[in-house]
Structure 1
């Protein structure tokens, strides 16, 4: 099987085959914790790290794992890596870990990770599998960040609040307050707001894809049509 290029992996992970906007996988954590930028970014980075490491690990063991136990083996690898990420968050970002709660262990059952492990990493070498995991993870994390930032901004009138929970005291003053006396918009930070904002993001991506396709068709030169004349000659005796 031919290996895709770095550019193809990047475009697929970040845009064309984005797991959140195109594949619509992993929607439970995507909608459950994206009420603020710090929560979304924390879970997005954790998922991306598990996706990167699991793709590499699955690719390394793909040749020695029996077909009958392939999926259970992949789940065990993902669960072990998720536990490592969970322990790291408990050690260094404990308050954020408490806020994210059950969504950190649920990374094990994230369809994005298992799907890439079985559908891609098990068929490619570790380098290509790792690049695919990184791009898919970054695509998922970016959608989470945009979704969380938009909901936080609409709901509270501020952006990047409590970023010290993820990056430490250096990020304590990263908050950007756009409207000082904003009364708040509760719907944006409630679960229905997540569905609404995600739907708008998907619609925006589809519209951009349509415009790009229209420009691509418009830039192609018209193919001249050549008419052929067929002469029929008859011999009369």
Structure 2
């Protein structure tokens, strides 16, 4: 049974490290070797502070788990020191025997690619936030998408749009919300604050493309769009202007 347990620990996708009450590294699996770029022979049965002497305090969760007899869960842990440039998700567990703490275990996984994808997505959304499409010398269309509404703070969105409007010397922006399928507080704040911001700089915002379910949600929220021109479709607004 012990051999089976050891085999499972050795081959799971998560990295595992165990230390004893004297901070001695007593167990690591192959994934731990891979993520920490070490050979187990170089760190087993060594004080963890000697095995990783330059590790900053903010990544020493297994040591603190043992020191304070407290378990930790870290959803995103930047692991950026020495030869490392990664993000881990980590949790620690205290190990007990006869009611006494006899060690601490850290289980962690590399989520660097996930964090990088999230950063790339956010950058893409930020770029889309001010993707004004001029249709004349004074009018531009801005397609509003759900990711822009969901991922960006309204204030950031407003700043990006107003900056682009000023740069392009646009007098009217047709904000097309056809791609919005759910209205929430962020959506309401985005369109109302943008309308106010446009008015303050002497520009005008026009709304098009409300889906029936979005219109229903906004009506239920008591949203007031008085003073803003609204057209059923982008095509109709372009025919007018």
Question: Shorter-chain TM-score category?
Answer: under 0.3
More strand by share: 2
Larger CA Rg, structure 1 vs 2: 2
Q: TM-score, normalised by structure 2?
A: 0.24
More helix by share: 1
Q: TM-score, normalised by structure 1?
A: 0.25
